[in-house]
Structure 1
Amino acid sequence: MSTIKDVAALAGVSFTTVSHVLNETRPVSAEARRRVLAAVEEIGYLPSAVARSLRKSETRIIGVLVPNVQNPFFAELVCGVEETCRLAGYSVFLCNSDNDPKRQQQYMRTLLEKRIDGLLLSSAGDDEALAQIFQMARVPSVTVDRLVPGARADRVSVNNREGAAAAVRHLLELGHRAIGCISGPVEFEVAQERIAGWRETLQAAGIEPQAHWLVHSDFSSHGGYEAGKRLLETAPELSAVFASNDLMALGLMRAAAEAARPVPASLSVVGFDDIELSAYAYPSLTTVGCSIKELGREAGRALLARIEQPQAGLREVLMKPQLVRRESTAAPAAKSLAAKTAKAGKAGKSA
């Protein structure tokens, strides 16, 4: 591997001159600069990023740690983060914990050992151990979507309670009264908030949700499928279900088809997140959420601001979700039939 001394020898200048040219730390004559750059190109010299980071006390590297890159939510999120950080001159190291808290801790330590300039994390659990690592490292940090109690970090998330409430209100407005919920893992704050939005909105409409209307799962499509089968068996009276993310909603739709509960004719389904895939399912999925890429961009901007001002007060950015109406929701079957009958009656009278 070529070194800075090899470049200096080929260019006929001192290695300090080469350093000044490459790092732009001191003016160098145009001729010397030309010879140095020509030598660099000829021998394919690459400056040492490690040495540069030691000199400048920065690596220009952002660590991003997510629970599951197979989940389209996190894939879209990372795209937004990477775009913002790349435009600011940072590279992104992506780590996937695969929903394993131990692997998450290992990756956290690896990223910190690499002297990253900032960390963006969506937790996979074991928040107490994570908070201890945060306290030891004190690297500029932002958490996304999931809270890490005790961690000194900014947070960027979606208003989960408000989004769940919007989903349930939509179903109530269509005429549904028996509305179930497939939730994520109960230990996650995001799951708790979405359950609260579902329950509170039903109660505000004078409906007390039954215990068997709620089933917990794991935010995966397979989890939604298995939870959907259980829910439709134990609560056949349900005419609609709110799923706490789009992947579980898609799994539920498969379970509904197998149970001869076609969507939306027999069962209306609403998801959460508005992943890109939800628009291309059949029927397309009604959901709530905000632009996931914009959520990632906002998280990237928050992290860059934290790097620039590490002593600033902690911030929480709460993004507002919107209802996206698609094909997976409709009026309950009985109400729909009554509406059609009334319409036919009016048509007969006018004839």
Structure 2
Amino acid sequence: MSTIKDVAALAGVSFTTVSHVLNETRPVSADARRRVLAAVEEIGYLPSAVARSLRKSETKIVGVLVPNVQNPFFAELVCGVEESCRLAGYSVFLCNSDNDPKRQQQYMRTLLEKRVDGLLLSSAGDDEALARIFKLASVPSVTVDRLVPGARADRVSVHNQQGAYNAVRHLIELGHRRVACISGPAEFEVARERIEGWRRALQEAGISPDASWVIESDFSSPGGYDAARRLLMAQAKPEHGAAAPFTGIFASNDMMAIGALRAAAELGLRVPQQLSVVGFDDIELSRYVFPALTSVGCSIKELGHEAGRVLIERIENPGAALKDVLLTPRLVVRESTAAPDAALLAP
């Protein structure tokens, strides 16, 4: 592998001159610059990024840590982050914790040891451990959707409660009275906020849901499938015979809603004629399942783009006041919701 001294020998200059040309740290004559660049091209010299980062106290790298790259939400999010950072001259190191808090901590430590210039985190849980790591690190940070208590970090998120409220309000305006909720894990703030939006919409309509209307799952399609089957099959049991069936399901993310669509099909329920399903996030895939999924959310790529932008701003202005950017979700009505069959509304 060629070295800076090889470039200097070929160009007929000192290696410090080569360094000044490559790092633009001091004016160099046009002739010397031309010879250095020609030598670099001829021998294929690549400057050491590690050495440059030590000199400049920056790596031009940001770490992005997400809980599940198999979930299309995070894939779309990372695309937005990467685009925003790339345009600002930064590269992205992506780490997938696979919903494992211990792996998340390990990746956090690794990224900090690599001296990344910034850190963007979508948490997989264990907020106390994360908060301890954040206290040890002074790296500029942004969290997406999930608050890490005690962390000095900007946050970019969607208005989860309002989005859930809008989704359920849509079902109520169609005439639905029994709307079940497939929730994410209660340990996550985002899941609790979406349950609260579901509950608020029902209560404002004079509907008092009981605990059996909510079932907790894991934000995955298999989890949504299992939860929907349990909800829909439970109401068919004799002890539930007096109750009208659920005519709507609000799933706290699109992946669980897609699982619910599969469960409904297997149970012989026609969507939306016999059961309406609405999700949250509006991932790209929601437009291409059948029936196309009604969902609430904002452009996930734009969410990632905004998070990347906020992180770059934090890197370049570390002393600025912390930001809490809240994006407004919109309802996108597709084929999975409609007015319920009048026969299903009988008490």
- Give the equivalent residue in structure 2 for 1:348: none
SS at 1:192 equivalent: helix
The one-letter code matched in structure 2 to 1:12 is: G
The aligned amino acid for 1:266 is: Q
Instruction: Give matches, 1:34-183, under 5 Å.
Output: 34-183=34-183
The answer on 1:248 being equivalent to 2:256 is yes
2:186 maps to which residue?
Answer: 186
Give 1:335 shift.
7.0
Of the three residues 273, 280, 286, the one matched with 2:294 is 286
| Alignment partners' CA distance in 2, 1:50 and 1:58 | 9
Native 8 Å contact 1:212 1:234 kept in 2 = no
Instruction: Report the Cα offset of residue 205 of structure 1.
Output: 0.5
- Alpha-carbon deviations, 1:145-203, whole Å to 9, x = none? 11111111010000000000000110001000000000000110000000000011101
Is the Cα contact below 8 Å between 1:213 and 1:235 reproduced in 2? no
Unaligned runs of at least 5 residues, structure 2: 237-244
Answering whether residue 283 of structure 2 is matched by residue 275 of structure 1, we say yes
**After TM superposition, where is structure 1 displaced by more than 6 Å over at least 4 residues in a row?**
none
* Counterpart AA for 1:300: G
Aligned match for 1:297, one of 297, 302, 305: 305
- Quote how far apart the aligned CAs of 1:302 are: 0.8
State the AA in 2 paired with 1:281. V
| 1:235 shift after superposition | 3.2
Distance (Å, rounded) in 2 between the aligned partners of 1:219 and 1:332: 26
Distance 1:327 1:336, change over 3 A: farther
- Larger mean Cα displacement after TM superposition, 17-26 or 249-258: 17-26
How many pairs were matched up?
A: 337
Kindly report which structure 2 residues correspond to 1:302-341, keeping only aligned pairs within 5 A, or say none. 302-334=310-342
The more displaced of 233-242 and 175-184 is: 233-242
SS at match of 2:218: coil
Aligned to 2:242: none
Aligned AA for 1:250? I
1:262, 1:22 → 2: CA distance?
Answer: 66
TM-aligned CA distance change 1:232 to 1:336, over 3 Å: closer
**Residue of structure 2 aligned with 1:257, choices 252, 256, 265:** 265
Distance 2:270 2:305 in 1: 38
Structure 1 partner of 2:209: 209
State, as a whole percentage, how many aligned pairs show the same letter.
78
TM-score (norm 1): 0.94
Q: Distance in 2 between matches of 1:336 and 1:223?
A: 26
Cα drift, residue 313 of structure 1: 1.6
Distance 1:130 1:101 in 2: 9
Residue 230 of structure 2 aligns with which residue? 230
- The question of whether the paired residues in 2 share the 8 Å contact of 1:212 and 1:235 is answered with no
1:212-245 residue CA offsets vs partner (Å, 9 max, x unmatched): 1111000000100011110111235100000000
* CA positional deviation for 1:316: 0.3
Query: Bigger CA drift: 129-138 or 31-40?
Result: 31-40
Shift of 1:143: 0.2
Deviates more, 1:121-130 or 1:311-320: 311-320
Secondary structure (helix, strand or coil) at the match of 1:271 reads strand
| Offset at residue 210 of structure 1 (A) | 2.1
Give me the CA root mean square deviation.
1.2
Equivalent residue number for residue 18 of structure 1: 18
